[in-house]
Amino acid sequence: MPSASPFKRLPTEGGETLSIDIDGQPCVVDARWTVAAALIAHGRAACRRAIDGQPRGPFCLSGVCFECRVGIDGIPGHQACLTPVAQGMKVTPEDSPEALP
């Protein structure tokens, strides 16, 4: 579920880009970004749900809160804020239909 993000992307000039897949959608991202930055830039401020159903997403962006957990290449529980993007990476937010039981 895309949501409005309070973050605004700064312009990048001539930076290297690569392609990743976020929840089945191909996305071009800056090669210097983390997965959390890619999620936010592509409107995925929420990437999982708390036990009460509330949407959760990257909060501290420094590896402390664990609110940014996502699946990467089929392996759940990665901290998106600590994981650099990589060409061809498949990111599955934990609230996606694919990741839900």
Summarize as ranges the residues that interact with ligand FES (CB under 6 A). 36, 58-61, 63-68, 79, 81
Which CB sits closer to ligand FES, 60 or 86? 60
Shortest Å distance, C-beta 13 to ligand FES: 27
Which CB sits closer to ligand FES, 29 or 81? 81
Residue number of the CB closest to ligand FES reads: 81
Q: Classify residue 4 as exposed, middle or buried by CB count within 10 Å of its CB (0-12, 13-18, 19+).
A: exposed
Which CB sits closer to ligand FES, 45 or 81? 81
Q: Are 59 and 48 a contacting pair, CB within 8 Å?
A: no
Shortest Å distance, C-beta 79 to ligand FES: 5
Whole-angstrom distance, CA of residue 63 vs CA of residue 79: 7
For 12, other C-beta atoms within 10 Å of its C-beta total 12
